[in-house]
């Protein structure tokens, strides 16, 4: 507890046309400069009109390898709904039509409050392309036997690289974003804004607690020996979020994903009113329920059948398909 620190307030990053991407090479992390004007779009992988997000596959001029650009229209921030924000003197309004008491317009507020959240993955792998592509999804009930026979070999062979996780834990990346850091090797964790969050807008608050202990792949590996760690993440995580963002613990959804995309134990903290991706029953497990299950039965997650969703492009789907547990909706050549 004593080796934990609470970091300073979030500072808005300066504007620049260039985007610095950290690339991992044999000599460690190096920075690659990218500009959106050099992005050559090739294919729209997913255009989600509900979430107002789009994922585009392409390349960067004069650079090899595939890049993914994810664009997301930002949520409205409460503090921008005044005469300095949307109702400022320089806001323009284009009229579509007016009919009696009804008017339909398009509003052009000043560009500073009209940003588009942008995530770049470069170089992207086939697994990233599959993760961000629109595709058929299935639910599978994974027994402990199926975990050992099909899921575990997949995790050992196919899982996403965890370099970004180690970069955070070892102080190489995102250090200015860290909200809380408990350095204890066994029960410590780092609390950091999630990639999907701008770190500012309370309405879409999303943080990630990444445990320092290595080798806990997922919910499946958790047993009663992890209870002190899990309780610490829950209690210290909530406290740190309250100190920094003034969101109380009873307004936070604290949960784990099964299956996760990244097999190093991490816990999601999202604002209860925010419908973050991946909060649905088929994927999320509330940390309180996990703690309760482990308290009642120390090996609950080694004995339980756990449902998970899998998409048809995922190699894990192919393993379960070949073993006769699920069938493809669309044949690959269709």
Tell me how far CA of residue 2 lies from CA of 6, 86, 112, 170, in angstroms: 11, 45, 40, 19
Active site residue 266: yes
85, 144, 249, 278: residue in contact with ligand M7G (rule CB under 6 A) = 278
Residue 218: cis peptide before it, omega within 30 degrees of 0:
no
Is the CB of 56 or the CB of 310 nearer to ligand M7G? 310
- Span between the terminal Cα atoms of the chain, in Å: 56
Q: Is 232 in the site for ligand M7G (CB under 6 A)?
A: no
Selected range binding ligand M7G among 6-14, 34-42, 182-190, 254-262, rule: CB under 6 A: 254-262
Distance CA 217, CA 223 (A): 12
Task: Tell which one of 261, 295, 297, 302 touches ligand M7G (CB under 6 A).
Answer: 261
Q: Could you tell me which stretch among 68-76, 78-86, 108-116, 191-199 binds ligand M7G (CB under 6 A)?
A: 191-199
Measure Cα distances from 137 to 62, 67, 316, 328 in Å.
Answer: 36, 24, 12, 9
Supply 213's token pair: 């202990």
- Asked if 98 is part of the footprint of ligand M7G (rule: CB under 6 A), the reply reads no
- Tell me, by CB under 6 A, how many residues bind ligand M7G: 12
CA separation for the pair 294, 88 (Å, rounded): 54
Say whether residue 289 binds ligand M7G (CB under 6 A).
no
Per CB under 6 A, 217 contacts ligand M7G: no
Residue 256 Cβ vs ligand M7G, minimum distance, rounded to whole Å: 7
220 binds ligand M7G (CB under 6 A): no
Q: Which of residues 151-170 bind ligand M7G (CB under 6 A)?
A: 164
Q: Is 238 left (phi over 0), alpha (psi -120 to 50) or beta?
A: alpha
Which residue among 128, 138, 226, 266 is the active-site one?
Answer: 266
Binding flag, residue 249, ligand M7G (CB under 6 A): no
Q: Helix, strand or coil for residue 213?
A: coil
Of 208 and 247, which CB lies nearer to ligand M7G in the complex structure?
208
Q: Which long-range contacts (CB under 8 A, 24 or more apart) does 126-131 make?
A: 127/158, 127/160, 128/68, 129/45, 129/57, 129/66, 129/68, 129/313, 130/311, 130/313, 130/314, 131/261
Tell me: does residue 194 bind ligand M7G (CB under 6 A): yes
Under 8 Å between Cβ of 29 and 22: yes
Binding mask 123-152 for ligand M7G (x = CB under 6 A): ------------------------------
- Minimum CB separation of residue 174 from ligand M7G in Å reads 6
Using CB under 6 A as the binding rule, whether residue 196 contacts ligand M7G is answered as: yes
Stretch that binds ligand M7G, among 75-83, 183-191, 259-267, 289-297 (CB under 6 A): 259-267
Active site residues: 266
Binding footprint of ligand M7G on the chain (CB under 6 A): 164, 174, 192, 194-196, 208, 257, 260-262, 278
């Amino acid at each position: 507890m004593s080796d934990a620190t609470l970091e300073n307030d979030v500072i808005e990053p300066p504007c620049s046309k260039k985007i610095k991407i950290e690339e991992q090479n044999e000599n460690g992390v190096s920075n690659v400069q990218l500009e959106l004007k050099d992005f050559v779009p090739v294919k729209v992988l997913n255009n989600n009109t509900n979430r107002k997000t789009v994922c585009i596959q392409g390349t960067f001029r004069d650079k090899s390898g595939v890049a993914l650009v994810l664009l997301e229209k930002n949520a409205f921030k409460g503090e921008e709904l005044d005469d300095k924000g949307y109702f400022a003197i320089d806001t323009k309004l284009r009229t579509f039509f007016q009919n009696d008491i009804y008017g339909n317009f398009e509003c052009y507020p000043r560009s500073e409050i009209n940003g588009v959240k942008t995530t770049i993955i470069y170089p992207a792998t086939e697994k990233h392309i599959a993760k961000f592509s629109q595709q058929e999804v299935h639910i599978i009930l994974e027994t402990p036997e199926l975990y050992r026979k099909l899921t575990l070999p997949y995790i050992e062979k196919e899982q996403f690289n965890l370099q970004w996780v180690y970069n955070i834990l070892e102080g190489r990346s995102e250090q200015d974003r860290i909200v809380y850091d408990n350095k204890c090797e066994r029960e410590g964790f780092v609390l950091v804004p999630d990639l999907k969050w701008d770190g500012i807008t309370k309405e879409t608050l999303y943080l990630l607690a990444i445990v320092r202990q290595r080798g806990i792949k997922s919910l499946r590996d958790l047993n009663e020996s992890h209870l002190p760690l899990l309780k610490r993440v829950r209690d210290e995580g909530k406290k740190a979020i309250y100190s920094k963002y003034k969101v109380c613990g009873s307004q936070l959804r604290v949960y784990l994903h099964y299956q996760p995309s990244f097999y190093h134990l991490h816990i999601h903290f999202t604002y209860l009113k925010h419908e973050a991706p991946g909060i649905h029953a088929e994927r999320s497990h509330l940390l309180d329920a996990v703690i309760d299950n482990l308290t009642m039965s120390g090996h609950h997650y080694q004995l339980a059948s756990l449902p998970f969703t899998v998409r048809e492009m995922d190699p894990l789907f192919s393993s379960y398909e070949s073993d006769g547990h699920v069938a493809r909706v669309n044949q690959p050549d269709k």
